[in-house]
Amino acid sequence: MPSTDQADRFQRLTVQAAGRTWTLERPADLESLWQSLDEDDPEAEEHIPYWVELWPATLALCDWLARQDLAGRTCLDLGCGLGLSALVASGLGARVVGMDYERDALYFAARNARLNAVPQPLWLCMDWNRPGFAPRSFDHIWGGDIFYEQRFFEPLERLLLHSLAPGGRVWLGDPERTVSQAVWPRFARRGWRVANRGQVVVPFEGARMTVNVWELSRPDVT
């Protein structure tokens, strides 16, 4: 975990999202994070530091969240990374749990909450394959670009079925990856209501990426 007295190891980003300017910190030496992975470790793939990037799907979700009534709602940010969408919701009055598999991500998420003077979400290190939430805990659950591998569908659907409160909504930002194209009809076949709530074009690394915001709900959960 980075030391707070080594400011030269941090990189600051200025981001426009949900109608305001945010300051986010992350490790300055991103290349070293990738090089530190042990190629001989069978679990190395699970620790690829995707969390250091601010993905377009997260920015699209932030703008969507800013249009919702989240005050007093209990919410879960799946794969919160640097924490931006959790901070947006917390600033809107939601009670937020920011969940990530990587402890370093949560370190920076908590630091970013302090930098932006918003109420500190509950940061939780947890594997979505083995969630520890009480049944029907969350009014809203969201995640940005989390279906980048097909093997994630089953554990994530189990988590959603277990954790979503009656009448709750799931919001997922998806940048039209080939691997996720089959996700939405698959949810529909399993009894979910699936709605595309719109597209957002987000600048990213000198290009522009189209992100869809999908909404899931369960008509049989009341």
Q: Where are the domains of the chain?
A: 52-217
- Average model confidence (pLDDT) across the chain: 89
The whole model's pTM is what?
A: 0.89
Q: Does the structure show a pLDDT above 80 at 195? A: yes
Which of 140, 173, 197, 141 is CA-nearest to residue 55? 173
Q: How confident is the model at residue 5 (pLDDT cuts 50, 70, 90)?
A: very low
Distance in angstroms (rounded) separating the CA atoms of residues 49 and 27: 11
| Per-residue model confidence (pLDDT) at position 203 | 82
The better pLDDT of the pair 32, 220 is held by 220
Task: Say how far apart CA 11 and CA 15 lie, in whole Å.
Answer: 13
Res 219: pLDDT: 84
Domain 52-217 is classified in which CATH homologous superfamily?
Answer: Vaccinia Virus protein VP39 (3.40.50.150)
pLDDT tier at 64, thresholds 50, 70, 90: very high
